[in-house]
Amino acid sequence: MPIFSHSIQNPTPCPDSPDLETVVCDCCGGSRTLPLAVLPPVDELALPMHRLGAAALRFQTGAVRFCRCQDCGLVYMNPRLTENAVARFYDTVYAVKGAAPAFESDQARRTNLYLDRIAALLAVPQPHVLDIGCGAGQFLHLAQARGWTVSGSELSGVAAEKAGRLLGVPVYHGDFREMGFAPASLDVITLLSVLEHLRAPMDTLRDSAALLKPGGVLMFNVPNPDSWEYRLSRLTGQRWRGFIIEHLYYFTPAFLRRCLTELGLDIRVMSSWNPDSRLPNPLRDLRAARAAAPAPATSVPMIPAARPVSLPRRLLRQANHYLLDAVSALSEGRQGGGSVSGNALFVWAQKRG
């Protein structure tokens, strides 16, 4: 069966929320869904970047929901953010220093592990890699240091400009399909924390696979709604921490195996192991909080404050986070292991032929 994105064909605008649209399942086009969660109000969002981005959007409290397709198993936001809303969210977040920690953090250790695993699958010593949604360019910068030919695309103009300055080569601001690559012309394509943010992920997977040479590698990571933490959250009546405002889609291991096989890709590695993950340590967190420099006064008013809660409630909430953090870390397994029970899935797939 041909793979294509159904959700972008005829989305229905939400009249009361101009930044939202109602869609069908992107994979199968079905509309039979199981409700899973509702996005909380802006001041209850945990991360500063989420509160900042949500404050720039126009939708009513409780309007954003997450569901599971009862026909194919894809999990998605519905109603979801429109194309303009997605662009406004990221340009708002990326423009404020300190708002998006992952965008600005040092990612060298895990990036080199990704690159090592990609290199082990390839017969090409200096491959050409396209990083779709390259953010600030950290991944491509380390690939470039290895002598690899690098290309990047980024939907956020702010991020594309930063990446271009870091790499010393232009980064395409827009859709990677407009870059002019011929079919079967690339050795490596990466989608690092990208697919879950896209309005048409199935089209992106299909078109990425088409650009790979035989033996080429597609590497990506996605949130996993089949994780131990998700199951514990459901069991205890809590909201899963993985349901966040910028994630439009979620992918289970079974769904990915089925989808990638249809695209002519063989999964070489699928794992939840994350090199940056650690078991919770309250003493370590306390020392880090004491050592942290205060945020610049000019940036504080730009990020909406979280809803204040009492000290007992804060302590209870933190204890619960430590429990979930422990479950999350333990579910990821060990390096080289095959656990797929963590909150994220890391996939290295190779094109047949």
Q: Give the phi and the psi of residue 74 in degrees, each rounded to 5.
A: -70, 135
Domain boundaries, the chain: 107-227+253-272+346-351
Q: What is the pLDDT of residue 194?
A: 95
Burial per residue of 158-168, b for 16 or more beta-carbon CB atoms within 10 angstroms, e otherwise: bbbebbbebbe
What's the distance, CA 36 to chain centroid? 19
Handedness of CA 277, 292, 306, 100 (dihedral sign): negative
Burial per residue of 302-334, b for 16 or more beta-carbon CB atoms within 10 angstroms, e otherwise: ebbeeeeeeeeeeeeeeeeeeebbebbbebbbe
CB 16 within 8 A of CB 213: no
Is cis: bond before 11, omega within 30 of 0? Answer: no
State how far the Cα of 294 lies from the Cα of 336, in Å rounded to an integer. Answer: 39
For the chain, residues with pLDDT lower than 70 are 1, 97-106, 292-301
Q: What is the pLDDT of residue 298?
A: 46
Residues 6+ apart with CB under 8 A from 339: 271, 272, 273, 331, 332, 333
Burial class for 188, CB neighbours closer than 10 Å (0-12, 13-18, 19+): buried
Q: What is the pLDDT of residue 299?
A: 47
Q: What is the pLDDT of residue 302?
A: 75
- Give the single-character DSSP code of 284: H
User: At 104, is the secondary structure helix, strand, or coil?
Assistant: helix
Q: Give the phi and the psi of residue 12 in degrees, each rounded to 5.
A: -105, 115
Q: Which CATH number fits domain 107-227+253-272+346-351: 3.40.50.150, 3.30.450.20, 3.40.50.300, 2.40.400.10?
A: 3.40.50.150
Q: Which residues pair with 177 in a beta bridge?
A: none
The DSSP line for 230-262 is HHHHHHTTPPPTT--TT--EE--HHHHHHHHHH
State how far the Cα of 93 lies from the Cα of 104, in Å rounded to an integer. Answer: 11
CA distances from 104 to 107, 110, 235, 254 (A): 9, 14, 35, 33
Q: What is the pLDDT of residue 163?
A: 94
Structure tokens, 187: 């050795």
pTM reported for the whole predicted model? 0.92
Q: What angle do CA 152, 170, 202 make, to 5 degrees?
A: 25
